[in-house]
Amino acid sequence: MSESKDNKNLSRKELSYNKLKGLGEEIIEDVVKKDIPSLKVPSRGTSNIVYDDAKRYFVLGDRYGKRSLGNVKQIKKIGQMVQVANFCKDLVQREKTATLREMYYVSEGWGIGFDNQQESNIVGEDIEVTLGMSREDLGLMPEEDGASVYGNIVFQEGDIEINALKSGKSGYTISPTIDEVDFLDHDVERVIAVETMGMFHRMVQEEAYKKFNTLIVGLKGQAARATRRFLKRVNEELDLPVYICNDGDPWGFHIAMVIISGSAKLAHVNHDLATPNAKFLGVTASDIVNYELPTDPLKDIDVLRLKELANDPRYRDPTWQTEIKKMLKIGKKAEQQSFSKYGLEYVVDTYFPEKLELLS
């Protein structure tokens, strides 16, 4: 479904509504012409997911699948897509949202219900990829909480102004509707995102926001879509460099790389989520050696995952290749909190200043 020039001047809400409405109009047009209604759905198979070297994230290729009411096996799937699209159109029109779980239960009244929530989630993704919009734009929200942000930045959320420096020690929670939040003012030079809330609270206690004039973001593990969208926005709209500090293991590397270069699963929305200019500030194999950190031995699954990362196009950079090979060689991994060996303040007083200088 192509985007007209007029769409460029529309708000995200208006664009979402028009695309959802247009999906139904395509089917009606086929009926009026007495053609068999059908929908083209971009393929999300691995063979159609491509790493774009210029954009530095995964994108979808040009392969499509066709769902037709002329195929008995596809009738239910098209019916589900139409129902979900109509449900989303109503949400967008009324400026409401629904969680994926709520949509699953609402679907019980449609007469073409889903066998389980996983099936309804997949149809929601089909709508996303068909329209080229994120589920949040369509009014569908995840269940999980967003990340926490602490530092000197002021948001406009509806009629309310919020200063993340005055939101308590747990900071401001990033909303799934982060695109409806405006950045009014800030007095920071960078963003440091950390994998664990333990490290987040350590940085708040040690006043890292002052020491580095930074926003502190607690990722809560694998970053939610809203968190990734926030990091992309502050990087592009506020021109703030983003640093990501994760555990020194393949899973920490992956969490950081999903923020930097997106994920294969979300290739259809990586343009809204990936922050290619973000830098890895986390624990590397070299750090494990140079700082003589407490470690755990790599497990077989860690070794397997590191070898997978070595062959992943997102890790082609020589620095990543060197660190992956070194970790395999030493056979060890380490957590962010391992710097506590030298005292609770060490990570803020020594490690971060040295790493930031190295990366600047």
Give DSSP secondary structure letters for 223-248. PPHHHHHHHHHHHHHS---EEEE--B
2-27: b (≥16 Cβ within 10 Å) or e: eeeeeeeeeeeeebbbbbbeebeeeb
Question: From CA 182, how far away is CA 158, in angstroms rounded?
Answer: 9
The answer to whether the beta carbons of residues 159 and 153 sit under 8 Å apart is no
Instruction: Give the separation between CA 322 and CA 306, rounded to whole angstroms.
Output: 12
At position 16, the amino acid (one-letter code) is S
Question: In the numeric block, which tokens belong to residue 188?
Answer: 């920071």
Residue partners of 254: CB distance under 8 A and separation at least 6: 305, 309
Q: Catalytic pick from 57, 105, 291, 346? A: 105
Phi first, then psi: what are they for 116, rounded to 5°? Answer: -160, 175
- Report phi then psi at 214, rounded to 5: -130, 155
Is 342 an active-site residue? no
Work out the angle at residue 184's Cα, subtended by the Cα atoms of residues 180 and 189, and round it to the nearest 5 degrees. Answer: 115
Alpha-carbon distance 280 to 254, whole Å?
11
Q: In degrees, to the nearest 5, what angle opens at C-alpha 354 toward C-alphas 349 and 359? A: 135
Q: Any idea which residues carry the catalytic annotation?
A: 105
